[in-house]
Structure 1
């Protein structure tokens, strides 16, 4: 959960809170999600108001891309499937299959857009300029 100061004059993030005791990759993917919220909120060039499905979608995409990167790196280093690798794959499936209209649909729309443009820069530019995915 990201705590955001909504004061019109300043953009700030007061804290990023995360539960203690979560598995490493889940913790890191949650931090990727929350850090994306912080990045968007701290940058003056992003709109003050982005539709929740767009903001949560890009944040979920960042979590997914982190997990996918970790998964690919492990597969490259070690041919056998590990417990952490199976857990990571499960987290990725959870993101893909989330039924929530904001988080799940937002992720799927972000993922389709990302696959089409294959560029995080283009994704963030579209959100910055149009508050939507490219």
Structure 2
């Protein structure tokens, strides 16, 4: 099943008096008053980036990762599939398959720390959006796929175009000189590969990978066919646990883990993490928590409730026996 984000945020409309100052406003010009003589603006509920309602319809770009709008004085990076990436998210973006391998090893260690080692060697490939869509079409499983798919756990033999060399950023902040190569997937077990969309920050890439790794683990452990909300829900729980471990690591926290919490994982990114990366981790974690979709959102909340109450191992044992979360 694919990994996607269904954002549960509601962008707030706020009215204030015309003489009041609006802090941290996105717009570079004075917002005119409406017919009632009040200033109306919108605010992102997480970043609190404020902007006038006009920007919701004038084509102002949003970052495909953090959802913030492109300021007038800054130009986002243009990825080749039409996505836009802000410069802060670009700083830790994973751009090719080789660059993603250390992160893959980290998440394998994370699973081992949960006594959930994935024994089989499953290829991890970073791909463009078109290759991801073609791979979804090549799967015979008939799963329901969402439009914002960013990751995929494959079970069929097919040839996938993977990104071999990190593209460079050229004139106009456009991605250039991307080198791809065909990769033939061979079925040696129930999972042939994990595909992740390129160009996303390390923490988002890692949470997607942790989600897809759980799909792989369930298949390789012989779990019977599960309902979408149970399978996607428990996969989101693992993505959420991994993000928690990264946020703790970035913060230098030594909080002791319990049977239902994640071990603190080492970071695959060299150097000191920026305050923005910590905030970005909080944002991705909050996206999972506030997702309003019945499958991913409600599935996560049911799975997370079960894991917090019974622990991860007992929850997985119950899923194996009944196909449902324990209550």
Partner of 1:3: 154
Count how many residue pairs are aligned between Structure 1 and Structure 2.
125
Secondary structure, counterpart of 2:200 in structure 1? coil
Tell me how far apart the structure 1 counterparts of residues 228 and 191 of structure 2 sit (CA, whole Å): 18
2:304 to 82, 98, 111: 111
Q: State whether structure 2 residue 291 is matched by structure 1 residue 98.
A: yes
Q: State whether structure 2 residue 321 is matched by structure 1 residue 129.
A: yes
Normalising by the residue count of structure 1, what TM-score does the alignment of the two structures yield? 0.87
Q: Is the 8 A contact 1:11 1:41 kept in 2?
A: no
How do 1:78-93 and structure 2 match up within 5 A?
Answer: 82-93=275-286
Q: Does 1 or 2 have the higher relative contact order (CA < 8 Å, sep 6+)?
A: 1
Partner of 1:56: 232
Normalising by the residue count of structure 2, what TM-score does the alignment of the two structures yield? 0.37
Q: Structure 1 or 2: larger strand share?
A: 2
The offset of 1:4, in angstroms, is: 2.3
The offset of 1:85, in angstroms, is: 0.4
Q: Is the 8 A contact 1:3 1:13 kept in 2?
A: yes
Tell me how far apart the structure 2 counterparts of residues 95 and 4 of structure 1 sit (CA, whole Å): 25
The offset of 1:57, in angstroms, is: 0.3
Structure 2: unaligned runs, 5 residues or longer = 1-151, 157-187, 254-273
> Larger radius of gyration, structure 1 or 2?
2
The offset of 1:11, in angstroms, is: 5.5
Q: Structure 1 or 2: larger helix share?
A: 1
Tell me how far apart the structure 1 counterparts of residues 250 and 214 of structure 2 sit (CA, whole Å): 24
Which stretches of structure 1, 4 residues or longer, exceed 4 Å deviation after superposition?
none
How do 1:66-77 and structure 2 match up within 5 A?
Answer: 66-76=242-252
Secondary structure, counterpart of 1:13 in structure 2? coil
Tell me how far apart the structure 2 counterparts of residues 102 and 127 of structure 1 sit (CA, whole Å): 16
Structure 1: unaligned runs, 5 residues or longer = none
Tell me how far apart the structure 1 counterparts of residues 245 and 316 of structure 2 sit (CA, whole Å): 19
Secondary structure, counterpart of 1:57 in structure 2? helix
**1:13-62 residue CA offsets vs partner (Å, 9 max, x unmatched):** 11111011110011111110000000101112x21x10110000000000
Tell me how far apart the structure 1 counterparts of residues 302 and 247 of structure 2 sit (CA, whole Å): 22
